[in-house]
Amino acid sequence: MATIEAYYGADAVVRYWGPDPKHLMLHVESDKQDSLARHECLGLLMCEIVRDRITLEATTRGQRIWGSAKVAYRQGVVLPTSVSADR
């Protein structure tokens, strides 16, 4: 998740969700506004991770969530964005 940390910061919350293991569905919640960074980040993820499909959605903290972002918020598993030095 170093790629997501590089684009959205170390304080970003990344959630993995979805029923199909062939389709990686990620939701990122951060303080940064959604921009072209989402597309660049998605491109790098597609190069790093082998899956049939990868979906990346990004929302800003405090923004009203809807659609698949709401499902990710309720059902998703939060992934760590950085590894601590103790491990």
Domain boundaries, the chain: 2-79
Confidence of residue 86 (pLDDT cuts 50, 70, 90): very low
| pLDDT 10s digits, 54-80 | 999 888 888 888 888 888 888 888 987
Mean pLDDT over 21-25 rounds to 90
pTM beyond 0.85, yes or no:
no
Q: Is 13 helix (H, G, I), strand (E, B) or coil?
A: strand
* CATH among 3.30.460.10, 3.30.1520.10, 3.60.10.10, 3.40.50.300 for 2-79: 3.30.460.10
- CA dihedral in degrees (52, 4, 39, 23; nearest 10)? 20
